[in-house]
Amino acid sequence: FSFSTLLLLTATNMYLLLALRILQGVGLSAYSTALGTIISDIVPTQRISEGVGYFGISGTISMAVGPTLGLYLCEKFNYHITYIVVFFIAMSSVIFASLINYERKKQTSINTSEEDLSVIHEYGVKLKNQPNKGFIEKTSVKPCIVLFFIVFAISAVFSFMPIFGQTRNIDNIGLFFTFYAVSMILSRLVTGKIADRYGFMKAFLPGIILTLMLFLTLSFAHSLPVVLLAAVFYGVGYGTVQPLMNAIVIRLSPPERRGAANATYYATMDIGFGAGSFVWGAVSQIGGFTVVFLSCALCIVIWILGYFLVLDKELHQTRS
């Protein structure tokens, strides 16, 4: 990811630019899946929602600061300076990644008596003889179907807010993302604890309602205060739902398949965002943004039904 960003300096045509973007996508998918798996391994199971929520805060802060920094560098200097700065920021993560040694800790913390070694050997042989289960973890399929409808709807907000502001003559629409980021960070500090202590539904129900309110509010918003109210609904609602869906995927998967489970989860998010941007773009040209956001609200209703019909029973079984 880091070096493909630096190589953007050499992009002289669209084909090379697209090739480098593919490399960036490969790098992004690799390290995001690995980090998600590390989190699921080191966080205690009874606090997994809280841990995933904290982990998500770092991404939220980055997404809030990164675009602002990038635009500033482009306006103050040029794209070449921007790519160089981004390269060094990305490379700094390599330094911090070298400090993550949880695998070595797990190996050195084992009491290597003969009895323990025999158990470890037996477990290793068992894993080695297991058939390859493929790239998709089957326990993640049901929650990822529910996740797809969430991300499919949310992609409309990511893709069209600047155009939405222009169409409805709302100035300073960029404040939407500031309010969204702050409210998301605050929600993730508390909702994970609520889910772990009192059950997923106690955190999901407010998140469901607020995410639905996001789209109903945007459907009829024609002023900045109403848009900022929708941003708060967005931050708290989606900020609650997204990490809890990740926690559900982790909780339902076997420990040795958490990497595949996380990969299935992130792939679903990518597919949802990609498909949603394409579909909602076509819908906006035909019916306008009111139709787009009301249709997104319908997707959230489908998601609510999917959660109760598909996931709630399985979550009760895992807790029991």
What is residue 299's predicted lDDT score, i.e. its pLDDT? 87
Whether the per-residue pLDDT at 131 is higher than 70: the answer is no
User: Which has the closest alpha carbon to 258: 56, 37, 39, 50?
Assistant: 37
pLDDT of residue 123: 43
> pLDDT band at residue 279, thresholds of 50, 70 and 90?
very high
The whole-angstrom separation of Cα 289 and Cα 164 is 7
What pLDDT digit, counting tens, does each position of 110-120 carry? 444 454 445 44
Torsion of CA 135, 250, 215, 164, to 10 degrees: -50
Examine the pLDDT at 315 and tell me if it is beyond 70. Answer: no
Model confidence at 252: pLDDT above 60: yes
Highest mean pLDDT: which range of 130-139, 155-164, 195-204, 282-291: 282-291
Which residues touch 318 (CB under 8 Å, ≥6 apart)? 251, 252
| 223 vs 173, higher pLDDT | 223
For residue 296, the number of C-alpha atoms closer than 13 Å in the C-beta half-sphere is: 36
Q: Helix, strand, coil proportions of the chain in percent (round to 5)?
A: 85, 0, 15
Q: Is 227 helix (H, G, I), strand (E, B) or coil?
A: helix
Phi, psi at residue 100, to the nearest 5°? -85, 105
pLDDT at residue 125 tops 60: no
Give the HSE-up count for residue 192: Cα atoms under 13 Å, Cβ half-sphere. Answer: 26
- Report field, pTM of the whole predicted structure over 0.95: no
Residue 263, pLDDT above cutoff 80: yes
Give the pLDDT mean for 231-255: 85
Give long-range contacts, CB 8 A cutoff, 24+ apart: 274-281.
274/155, 275/152, 275/155, 276/151, 276/152, 276/153, 276/154, 276/155, 276/156, 276/159, 277/155, 277/156, 277/158, 277/159, 279/152, 280/155, 280/156, 280/159, 280/160, 281/159, 281/160
| Residue 250 near residue 147, CB atoms below 8 Å | no
